[in-house]
Amino acid sequence: MSIFVDENTRVVYQGLTGSQGRYYGMLNRDYGTQVVAGTNPKKAGTDVEGVPVFATVADAVAATGANASCVFIPAAGVRSAVLEAAEGGVELIVVITEGVPMHDEVCFYNKLKADYPGVRLLGPNCPGLISPGKANIGITAGHIAKGGGPVGIVSRSGTLTYQALYELKQKNIGCTTCVGIGGDPVPGTSFIDCLAAFEDDPDTEAVMMIGEIGGSAEEEAAEFISAHMSKPVVAYVAGLTAPPGKKMGHAGAIVSGGKGTAQAKMDALAAAGVRIGQSPSEAGDIMAEVVAAL
Amino acid sequence: MDLFEYQGKQFFASYGMPVSPGEAVTTVHDAVAAAERLGTPVMVKAQVHTGGRGKAGGVKFAADIDAVRTHASNILGLDIRGHVVENLWIEKASDIAEEYYASFTLDRSAKQHLGMLSAEGGVEIEAVAEQNPDAIAKIWVNPVDGLTEDQCRRWVLAANLNPDVTEQAVELLRKLYEAYTAGDADLVEINPLIVTPEGRLHVLDAKVTLDGNAGFRHDLAPFDATQPRDGREAAAHSKGLQYVGLEGSVGVIANGAGLAMSTVDAVNQAGGRPANFLDIGGGANADVMAGALEVINNDPDVRSIFINIFGGITRGDEVANGIIQAMDRVDIRSPIVIRLDGTNAVVGWSMLDPYLSDRLVLVPTMVEAAEQAVALAQGSAP
């Protein structure tokens, strides 16, 4: 099995007619994802390489039975795109776009929570998610992922996610689902959401978690793991030596006032029984040991 | 992006909040002229992106024009925690009866806005939070609902401010929330928020951080222009690179913020010091790579360069091509250590093969590559 997406997920791409949306939408389709529709109010009735384009998500859902959306809209339009997707009736909204203002994020996060509690938001500023062999939604390179489990992956960082997938594949270890939750201050889906889903997924037997500096999401995940996870978790946290007060690329990755340091996160996770790798490859080696012992 | 105090006050004033008249200047001559226009007494305040200005002698009361001249010449050029003062804010002095604290920022755990209000202002709020947490009244605001007047009044009452200013505080704090949300700020902070002897609430200091992502609906150019950047950071910024200057000798280039952070860690763990954080993003083409190498090459402290690329969608052959072309365009001073893995890495390796030398080394793993880059930077190639 897998979490959040599988071979039955039918995806509408908001922004399919743009260069990024078309490029990754077609890559996702080539991978085997059910790419059923695109939206663009000015190009309704046309198609992108055979994928029909509708004016709105609601139209796309009505015509194609889409149950998920993937957003490649420029940052300025993301707020209305997310609300349009929720109103349109999809169950999962994956926002790849980076550079979305914090006030927009916190607004649509709370709006969805109040008015569309059944809708899962992933991102913004995330690589998307892949259930290898079933569905790939977003910008993950599908061929570096080996399917079949037993490992689930959840990560705040894009490139480190790819690296984790690749290293596991090199070691001939499969993955049920790999979720990139993104590095923004208000991620729609948290570590805890993913850990809980992996705990419930019978095919996931161990979880790889990749964190980074800033915020307290890893510390909160540690509390959850300690209280609710029976499956082993291996973690890596980037930014151990990042200087305080400097933003390291991601909007979220900043250490301030001694809070959110990588060391504090690693300590919290270790105290919850999580095995920590000091580098991404060490985390991969540890996971190989964990899988061998399953 | 962090605003100077005077920019923060202008930002607050544009949302109707009461600030003192003042002028931003860069010379002693202009400071004196500003004080003459404003009328003494005035405050002479260093404009730097750091706290602790008062303790460092960067904020002075000037009773007359001679004092303005003295203080302005002392403060200009002063080094405050590594920030050299280039700008002064000359402001009409205020009499103070009481000092409060007020702020809004995002509570990332609660995923709502957090307002903090305290009758114990004028000092660092972290100290109040530690020693007397009950002195801070907190309020969580759901951004969908906004801050209602009733909610705001209950918050003000909970903070035990002087009852005479309750209504003024409600009005001012709602404007502060408006500035925070409509102005796309990550942080708005007033410390101190004062009560004058006449019983007027007044903004005496302003700390504002604006969200650089909201540039499509605000004109951030004036604030961007005054961001403190060293020469390297300014050059990288003009090329659109995600660059943070550090103090070491190993130049770092990686794709993706997480991998770039991880690379900085790997250099430190190998006993070296990274010269920078640089994320070239997903598309590591020749232009981007050449730009990145140029910025690092111009850093006189750099002794070796560590290029750490993991190909996902980005292909190893494209990256190799980018590096080869970039080396053609930029005359590189320092030896380069490359770790290239992931998609089409093997093709990339064979493309790089004819160029390999003791100045261009290909190393299979990130940890080994970091060790080699550190050894080269320290002048002891293994």
Mean pLDDT of chain B: 92
pLDDT digits (tens, 9 = 90+) for B164-216: 999 999 999 999 999 999 999 999 999 999 999 999 999 999 999 999 999 99
Contact between chains at B258 and A158 (C-beta distance less than 8 A): yes
pLDDT digits (tens, 9 = 90+) for B112-138: 999 999 999 987 777 888 888 899 999
B214 vs A101, A144, A162: nearest CB: A101
Question: Which pLDDT value is given to residue A247?
Answer: 64
Res A252 pLDDT > 80: no
Contact between chains at B366 and A279 (C-beta distance less than 8 A): yes
Give the C-alpha separation, B297 to B1, whole Å. 27
Closest approach of A249 to chain B, Cα-based (Å): 5
pLDDT digits (tens, 9 = 90+) for B328-349: 888 899 999 999 988 888 999 9
Greater model confidence, B167 or A159:
B167
Known catalytic residue at B189: yes
pLDDT digits (tens, 9 = 90+) for B16-29: 999 999 999 999 99
Contact between chains at B113 and A107 (C-beta distance less than 8 A): no
Question: Which pLDDT value is given to residue B382?
Answer: 41
Contact between chains at B108 and A216 (C-beta distance less than 8 A): yes
Contact between chains at A212 and B261 (C-beta distance less than 8 A): yes
A165 and A280 together in one domain: yes
A77 and A209 together in one domain: no
| Among B276, B270, B246, B262, residue whose Cα is nearest residue A239 | B262
Greater model confidence, B311 or A246:
B311
CATH number at residue A117: 3.40.50.720
Give the C-alpha separation, B136 to B134, whole Å. 5
Candidates A103, A139, A155, A254, partner chain B, best to mutate (most B CBs within 10 A): A103
| Among B230, B244, B224, B246, residue whose Cα is nearest residue B4 | B224
Tokens found for residue A246: 């400097």
A63 and A166 together in one domain: no
Question: Which pLDDT value is given to residue A248?
Answer: 61
For each of the domains in chain B, give its residue range(s) and CATH number, in order of start. Answer: 21-92 (3.30.1490.20), 98-223 (3.30.470.20), 231-377 (3.40.50.261)
Judge whether A170 lies within some domain: yes
Q: Please report residues of B whose CB lies closer than 8 A to that of A261.
A: none
Contact between chains at B213 and A278 (C-beta distance less than 8 A): no
B257 vs A166, A249, A279: nearest CB: A249
Stretch B248-261: mean pLDDT:
93
State what percent of residues in chain B have pLDDT above 90.
74
Least confident of A75-84, A197-206, B113-122: B113-122
Closest approach of A63 to chain B, Cα-based (Å): 31
| Among B323, B32, B143, B81, residue whose Cα is nearest residue A101 | B143
Burial readout A12-22 (b: 16 or more C-beta within 10 A, e: otherwise) = bbbbbbbebbb
A154 and A282 together in one domain: yes
Stretch A83-94: mean pLDDT:
98
Question: Which pLDDT value is given to residue A137?
Answer: 98
Res B260 pLDDT > 50: yes
pLDDT digits (tens, 9 = 90+) for A110-147: 999 999 999 999 999 999 999 999 999 999 989 889 99
Judge whether A158 lies within some domain: yes
Closest approach of A186 to chain B, Cα-based (Å): 6
Contact between chains at A248 and B310 (C-beta distance less than 8 A): no
Res B32 pLDDT > 60: yes
Judge whether A218 lies within some domain: yes
A115 and A149 together in one domain: no
| Among B12, B167, B198, B229, residue whose Cα is nearest residue B96 | B198
Give the C-alpha separation, A170 to A147, whole Å. 12
B211 vs A101, A156, A281: nearest CB: A101
A240 and A155 together in one domain: yes
A188 and A288 together in one domain: yes
Q: How confident is the model at residue A254 (pLDDT cuts 50, 70, 90)?
A: low
Q: Among residues A89, A122, A155, which one ends one of the domains? A: A122
Contact between chains at B259 and A157 (C-beta distance less than 8 A): yes
A197 and A284 together in one domain: yes
Least confident of A243-252, B49-58, B274-283: A243-252
Least confident of A79-83, B64-68, B122-126, B248-252: B122-126
Res A20 pLDDT > 50: yes
Judge whether A136 lies within some domain: no
Q: Please report residues of A whose CB lies closer than 8 A to that of B184.
A: 101-103
Single pTM value for the model: 0.93
Closest approach of B319 to chain A, Cα-based (Å): 15
B342 vs A139, A166, A243: nearest CB: A166
How far, in Å, are A19, A210, B349 from residue A272 at the CA level?
44, 15, 41
Question: Which pLDDT value is given to residue A157?
Answer: 87
| Among A92, A88, A64, A116, residue whose Cα is nearest residue A6 | A92
Contact between chains at A140 and B214 (C-beta distance less than 8 A): no
Domain that holds residue A31: 10-122
B265 vs A99, A111, A241: nearest CB: A241
Contact between chains at B257 and A183 (C-beta distance less than 8 A): yes
A95 and A218 together in one domain: no
Q: How confident is the model at residue B283 (pLDDT cuts 50, 70, 90)?
A: low
A116 and A148 together in one domain: no
CATH number at residue A276: 3.40.50.261
Q: Please report residues of B whose CB lies closer than 8 A to that of A240.
A: 265, 268-269
Judge whether A134 lies within some domain: no
Among B23, B98, B99, B189, the active-site one is: B189
Q: Please report residues of B whose CB lies closer than 8 A to that of A156.
A: 258
Judge whether A276 lies within some domain: yes
Judge whether A82 lies within some domain: yes
Res A93 pLDDT > 90: yes
A104 and A157 together in one domain: no
What is the length of chain B?
382
A71 and A150 together in one domain: no
Question: Which pLDDT value is given to residue B336?
Answer: 96
Q: Please report residues of A whose CB lies closer than 8 A to that of B313.
A: 27, 139-141
Count: domains in chain A: 2
Stretch B71-84: mean pLDDT:
93
Mean pLDDT of chain A: 93
Q: Please report residues of A whose CB lies closer than 8 A to that of B282.
A: 139
Q: Among residues A122, A149, A179, which one ends one of the domains? A: A122
Stretch B136-152: mean pLDDT:
96
| Among B379, B357, B374, residue whose Cα is nearest residue B251 | B374
Judge whether A53 lies within some domain: yes
Give the C-alpha separation, B205 to B6, whole Å. 9
A279 vs B106, B312, B367: nearest CB: B367
User: What ipTM is given for this predicted complex?
Assistant: 0.92
Q: How confident is the model at residue B381 (pLDDT cuts 50, 70, 90)?
A: very low
Q: Please report residues of A whose CB lies closer than 8 A to that of B277.
A: 242, 246, 248-249
